Amino acid sequence: MVTENVEVFYGDSRAIKGISLDIRENEVIAFIGPSGCGKSTFLRSLNRMNDTIQGCRVTGRITLDDEDIYDPSLDVVLLRARIGMVFQKPNPFPKSIYDNVAYGARLHGLAKSRHDLDDIVEDSLRKAGLWEEVRDRLQQPGTGLSGGQQQRLCIARAIAVSPEVILMDEPCSALDPIATARIEELINELSTQYTIAIVTHSMQQAARVSHRTAYFHLGELIEVNDTEKVFTNPDHDLTEAYITGRFG
């Protein structure tokens, strides 16, 4: 994906200021920065989730494979399948485990038969590292799973429609350390097949899962570099101040 001079407004207030950033195929890129600096706003602009917020306006240009994602003729539902999203709080639908994962595949007519659909559900649950834990209770409600399992279910739901990019907004902030470690492991596995942009308030997490890290400050992109560099020898004083805990 490529963003060029992206600005996001809530009413008259400019939350994102002229961000140009390339997100490379099959990379994990972490967005870090103090609370309120615009990480979620920018992330949401990448699959037009901001469209759902009244008074929110995006300018500039964002492309996926050279296609303008804000093109008015574009099918937004399809776009959000190609660029999936996982939220802070796991949000399974009030449906069975099976139906949660099958949801998008049914919506987009991806399965030719029940057998096809079964395969998509199993494959997605396997990729999300959840299959062994749920294979015997696929008809039970998704909301009955533990928090960490629910988050993996939401990842399976995103994967089931074969996205190119997965956006994650603090996907572990509601999880315990063990469930967090499991999701981080999963991000590493998924990065061989998908492009992942993850917002995290944990610098340790950014260091563990990402190839590159982008540092945001008051709506601006201050620095984007290889993760190792950002955390050992950042280019910018503001990044340095944040990673050494002088503010944020």
Ligand X SMILES: Nc1ncnc2c1ncn2[C@@H]1O[C@H](COP(=O)(O)OP(=O)(O)O)[C@@H](O)[C@H]1O
CB of 222 to ligand X, least distance (A): 13
Return the number of the residue (34 or 147) whose C-beta is nearest ligand X. Answer: 34
CB of 10 to ligand X, least distance (A): 3
Distance CA 134, CA 222 (A): 43
Contact 174, 90 (CB under 8 A): yes
Distance CA 75, CA 72 (A): 8
Q: Pick from Mg ion, ligand X, none: which does 157 bind, CB < 5 to 8 A by kind?
A: none
Provide the sign of the torsion angle of the four alpha carbons 231, 232, 233, 237, taken in this order.
positive
Contact 102, 120 (CB under 8 A): yes
Which spans of this chain sit near ligand X (rule: CB under 6 A)? 10, 15, 33, 35-41, 53
CB of 56 to ligand X, least distance (A): 7
The secondary structure of the chain in percent helix, strand, coil, rounded to multiples of 5, reads: 40, 25, 35
Which spans of this chain sit near Mg ion (rule: CB under 5 A)? 40
Return the number of the residue (98 or 242) whose C-beta is nearest Mg ion. Answer: 242
Residue position matching structure tokens 């503010």: 247
Return the number of the residue (36 or 144) whose C-beta is nearest ligand X. Answer: 36
CB of 193 to ligand X, least distance (A): 26
Return the number of the residue (40 or 180) whose C-beta is nearest Mg ion. Answer: 40
